[in-house]
Amino acid sequence: MKHAKRNGFVCVFLFLLLGSVNFLLGVESLIQQVSATRTENGGIVILGKTKLPKGTKLMIDISRSGPLLGQTKVTAKEEGSFSSEPFTDKDKPRKSGIYKVTITSYFTEIWQSKDVLIKVGKNGAKLPPGQLVPDDPEFPTAGGHLKVTVDVNFPGISPELQAVQTVKEAILILPGKGRSADPIKDVVAYFVKGGGFKPTGWSAKQSSTGVWIVTLNCIDAGEEKQAQWELNPKTKVVKYLDPLAKLLSWLPRE
């Protein structure tokens, strides 16, 4: 009878122990969702959700197979959602494909507000240890930080956006003036710096013949105007269609 009680006690103890281990192993990652979407200008926005409290500051890095390609800070909002500023490749849309997205956060006074530290503890003392990277590997119980790297698919560029980008990158030759010193996007930027001119949006629409009409909506000298170019998708030839587009298609060489 004593042996039976002892065996029963052992079984209960093992059940509680294993139940505790399963609970710890079942703790969800502090970063629950990570995805990417494109803006209408082709920039990549990283979207995600975290179990960390509202106001937690996170660092987002993107890379591929080599060096760092971009970095920005975000703040967790209601229910842990967060979104980054658009990532670009020197103002060009980044290519589609799989990228490494690393999310990092330190739980110190420099990184976080007092309200956040009250909830997560200094150096993440109130967070599941298994979800943190030790700040000092020799003293893993002394505190840690968040560092999670995931593979994220950057979606492709739409045909409309590709048409706009082709026009922006085009360097035109004007009758009597020759080849422009810069592509159209840089000519537009030049007029913006001069003042009195402000782009409000690019768009593209494909005609029934397959030719793209790319439009730049803008404010010029206080008036709403449009500049339009034609893009032949087969030959990649770009032509200006109006006086404003012509003006925005050429700069002299210095």
Domain ranges of the chain: 30-154, 159-247
Rounded Cα gap, residues 94 and 107, in angstroms: 32
Question: For residue 24, how many other CB atoms are within 10 A of its CB?
Answer: 10
Interval 50-83: pLDDT, tens:
999 999 999 999 999 889 999 999 999 989 999 9
Interval 1-49: pLDDT, tens:
444 444 444 343 333 333 322 222 234 689 999 999 999 888 999 999 9
Alpha helices in 83-150 (DSSP H): 114-120
Q: Are residues 216 and 167 in contact, defined by beta-carbon separation less than 8 angstroms?
A: no
The mean pLDDT value for 79-105 works out to: 94
Question: For residue 202, how many other CB atoms are within 10 A of its CB?
Answer: 23
Name the region of 122 (left: φ>0; alpha: ψ -120 to 50; beta: rest).
Answer: beta
Which amino acid type is present at position 190?
Y
- The dihedrals phi and psi of 222, each to the nearest 5 degrees, come to 85, -5
Rounded Cα gap, residues 162 and 40, in angstroms: 11
Pick among 1.25.40.80, 3.30.420.240, 2.102.10.10, 2.60.40.10: CATH of 30-154: 2.60.40.10
- For tokens 């709403």, what's the residue? 224
Q: Which two tokens stand for residue 50?
A: 């975290």
141 pLDDT more than 90: no
